[in-house]
Amino acid sequence: MNEKIKLREAMSIGIGGMVGGGIFAVLGLAVSLAQGGTPVAFLIAGILALITSYSYVKLSMTYPDRGGTVKFINQGFGKSVFSGGMNNLLWISYIIMLSLYASAFGSYAPNLLEISNRTADFHIYASAIIILATAINYYSIKVVGQIESYAVIIKLIILLSFILLGIYGLFGNPNLSQLSFENWETPLKLTTGGMVIFVAYEGFELIANAAPDIENPKINIPKAYYYSVIFVILLYVIIAAVTVGSIPFKEIATAQDYVLAAAAKPMLGTTGFTIITIAALISTFSAINASLYGGSRVSYEIAQDDELPHHLTSLLWNQPIGLLITAVATLAIANLLKLESLSTAGSVGFLSIFAIVNFVGFKLHAEINGNRIIPLTGFLLCLTAVLVLIQQQYLSNKVGVIVAISIIFSCFLLEWIYKKTKITIK
């Protein structure tokens, strides 16, 4: 019999999923897009995550399943080409997220130890961490869980310390004026900034996979989702404010890929820079570790539902073959795409998935005993966010948009070919 997951552990899953590598990877990018309005951009993205969590709460309580999002989409649309395409998109979005975390690791690690030059070091570190995490996943899933539980505590202690010291350091800091209203970007750009960094919030959906094992589900499932999302919104908004108020925009732009470490330097000098760098490495490593497992589980669930070839349920050594495919694809993407393209593609993928989950919440509102307006609002907002993000980013980040659209198209095309081939063989 499985041991039940208590509220604190369920919240740790959500918080750990969100405060993975996301904040370390996308904070500099957020400032480049939203400038002084960066805290508002994080708030906009957070509100969208909070609205979407309502659909997840209702669906998790009615259809508790380790397949999580995969189960919800199939429940709403049956096992069709559409649901298969969306579930494939979920798997690919996991791979994009993994690449983003590896990219963040590759950007922070050379601050501790340079091997060659910054470009070469990035590729060496990003590749090495993916290979190490894959080896750990093959060695023992239990070890993955232990690393994640310790990492959540370590990164939260360091980030909360950063906030407390940062707030203290803001008094009398001349850069505090950067947060003033005249330094904010336009509302449209703030929204775009929020949508590009939406990937920093996607991890709350991992609670859905744990739903069957959560103790006292009627009370603890809603609390786990809402408490973890609200906590992370507050955490991100304050971190963004402290960062923008601590160092000049020029310095933020120079250190865009490791901006949190740069923001710690005025407070604690080289020691602060090193501590935040270590926190970033622990966070991104634990996020890669957990997401590799999550990604391989998604491919396994999709194959079990016969929306991908059944061969993906096969074991290679002691893990589903999807683990190796996920790791190899992550290695390729992390070394090929730049951070902004990864963030855009990941956000488009997860916003599209969340739009569909919200639509399922709206469609099945009677079965899940839910409100119709909240999921419908979530669906329309997520859909609008995808369109705004694609339109705005196309002007400045064409590669990211082309990658995102190509991925979505490929997911549905491959599902259609697979379903067609199956019918022909029968």
| pLDDT tens digits along 366-382 | 999 999 999 999 999 99
Is the pLDDT confidence value at 77 over 90?
yes
* Mean pLDDT to the nearest integer, 156-161: 86
Name the band, by pLDDT with cuts 50, 70 and 90, for residue 276.
confident
Name the band, by pLDDT with cuts 50, 70 and 90, for residue 341.
confident
Q: Let me know how long the chain is.
A: 426
pLDDT, greater one: 223 or 338: 223
Name the band, by pLDDT with cuts 50, 70 and 90, for residue 1.
very low
* Mean pLDDT to the nearest integer, 304-318: 73
CA neighbor of 360 nearest in space, from 69, 76, 68, 83: 76
DSSP string, 255-278: TGGGHHHHHHHHHHHHHHHHHHHH
Is the pLDDT confidence value at 389 over 90?
no
Instruction: Provide the pLDDT for residue 216.
Output: 92
Is the pLDDT confidence value at 385 over 50?
yes
* Euclidean distance between CA atoms 43 and 148, whole angstroms: 26
pLDDT, greater one: 41 or 395: 41
* Euclidean distance between CA atoms 99 and 293, whole angstroms: 14
pLDDT above 70 as % of the chain:
95
Name the band, by pLDDT with cuts 50, 70 and 90, for residue 141.
low
* Mean pLDDT to the nearest integer, 54-83: 92
Is the pLDDT confidence value at 60 over 90?
yes
User: Mean pLDDT score of the chain, rounded to an integer?
Assistant: 87
Name the band, by pLDDT with cuts 50, 70 and 90, for residue 424.
low
**Residue 220: Cβ-neighbour burial (10 angstroms; 0-12, 13-18, 19+):** buried
- Report all structural domains of the chain as residue ranges with CATH numbers, in order of start: 7-425 (1.20.1740.10)
Is the pLDDT confidence value at 282 over 60?
yes
pLDDT above 90 as % of the chain:
37
Residue 194 CA, chain-centre distance (Å), reads 13
* Mean pLDDT to the nearest integer, 289-310: 79
Name the band, by pLDDT with cuts 50, 70 and 90, for residue 426.
very low
Most confident of the following: 159-173, 216-230, 250-264, 331-345: 216-230
**Residue 246: Cβ-neighbour burial (10 angstroms; 0-12, 13-18, 19+):** buried
* Mean pLDDT to the nearest integer, 250-268: 83
Is the pLDDT confidence value at 173 over 80?
no
Token digits of residue 411: 């997911």
Instruction: Provide the pLDDT for residue 301.
Output: 82
Instruction: Provide the pLDDT for residue 402.
Output: 92
* Mean pLDDT to the nearest integer, 251-261: 83
CA neighbor of 95 nearest in space, from 328, 402, 414: 328
Summarised one tens digit per residue, pLDDT across range 109-136 is 998 888 888 889 999 999 999 999 888 8
Q: SS3 letters for 217-234?
A: HHHHHHHHHHHHHHHHHH
Instruction: Provide the pLDDT for residue 267.
Output: 76
* Mean pLDDT to the nearest integer, 148-159: 81
Kindly report the backbone phi and psi dihedral angles of residue 66, in degrees, each rounded to the nearest multiple of 5, phi listed first.
Answer: -70, -15
